[in-house]
Amino acid sequence: MTPSSSAQTDERVLYGSDHAVPGEPILTATDIKVHFGGVRALDGVSLSLEPGELLGIVGPNGSGKSTLLGALSRLTRITDGSLELDGQRYDRIRPAAVARMGLSRTFQTVRLLPRFSVLENVMLGADQPSLRGARSTSTWRSRGSEKHATDAAMEALERIHLADIRQANPADLPYGVQRKVEIARALVRQPSVLLYDEPIAGMSRSERDEIADLMVELAEQGLSQILVEHDIGMVVRICRRLIVLDLGKKIADGPSTDVITMPEVRDAYLGGTTHASA
């Protein structure tokens, strides 16, 4: 396994933005605040994501990692701050529209629909028309059609080697496979940004490695990804850059190998008191 590198523009075949400028971030969050009453779940966090980058976000329990993903995907209402995807402000846009703009995510818990087969679950991701006209090669008539959704879902399932179990009921599958089906569902729309919320929690070692390889592969194909994860070993292994959150603030942002040796990061994890804002 090798650390991911930013993909070259000509490699950006499957994923990435319509009009991404190399060097310009595809996703920018500026001074994001999420306050629940008196609780400051996020208190002025900024980040930027380069095209094709696989960015890791770590932090102790309750540091605001999942809230940050919620804010970035607009499913959690932000108190203040601005969000930009592909140069377009989206902090006032409805969350469903943000998803159709090309921002996909997975959740901390398995959220597959129990009454649907694997294929139907993945088709759900392809059903709604994209808000990025140039990305879609299909016409308005074929988009939204059953065949279009089936083809797109099959393509996503084949990409992560799940085509054989397309007719299975999610409840009959091992946990690791269920999580992979969710990743297929997030990929089916060919997003420009994909956010993962602890995708490997509860998985076996081999399943973890498989997901890690998949993420690196997707990054090489130009997909910009943010990975929130507890397993720091894995994050450091596959992400070149790391952001550390603690108590709703960003305490470190930089190359993974440097960040994990920073004293304030060690303090945050070991319960020390010398937090410093980055």
Partner 1 sequence: MIDWYASNTTLIQNCMIAILLALSVQVVMRIGVLSLAGIGFYGLSEYLTANLVIRDVVPAEVAILASLVVCGIGAFVLSLFLGRVRGLYLAMVTLAFVLILNVVAINGGKWTGGANGLFGVPFAVTTAHIVVVCLIGILVVWATERGAIGRACEALRTDELLATSMGIEVRKYHRANLVLSGLLGGAAGGLNVLNLGAVGPFDAGFGLAVTTLTMVIVGGRRSWLGAVIGAVLITWLPTVLSFLEGEMRNIASGALVIVMATLVPDGLLGLLTSQIRRLRAAVRRPSGRSTTKEVDDDTQLVSADR
Interface positions with partner 1 (CB under 8 A) = 66, 69-70, 73, 75-76, 94-97, 99-100, 104-105, 107-116, 120, 123-125, 127-128, 144, 146, 149, 169-175, 178, 185, 189, 197
CA angle 245, 246, 248 (to 5 degrees): 85
How near is the Cβ of 25 to partner 1 at its closest, in Å? 22
Tell me whether residue 123 or residue 259 sits nearer to partner 1 (CB atom): 123
Question: Residue 89: in which H helix or E strand, if any?
Answer: strand 88-89
Cβ-based neighbours of 44, under 8 Å, separated by 6 or more: 31, 32, 33, 81, 249
How near is the Cβ of 112 to partner 1 at its closest, in Å? 6
Tell me whether residue 21 or residue 96 sits nearer to partner 1 (CB atom): 96
Tell me whether residue 6 or residue 63 sits nearer to partner 1 (CB atom): 63
User: In Å, how far are 54, 125, 184, 207, 222 from 216, measured between CA atoms?
Assistant: 8, 22, 15, 14, 10
How near is the Cβ of 79 to partner 1 at its closest, in Å? 14
How near is the Cβ of 10 to partner 1 at its closest, in Å? 29
CA 37 – CA 168 distance, rounded (Å): 44
Tell me whether residue 68 or residue 218 sits nearer to partner 1 (CB atom): 68
CA 71 – CA 51 distance, rounded (Å): 20
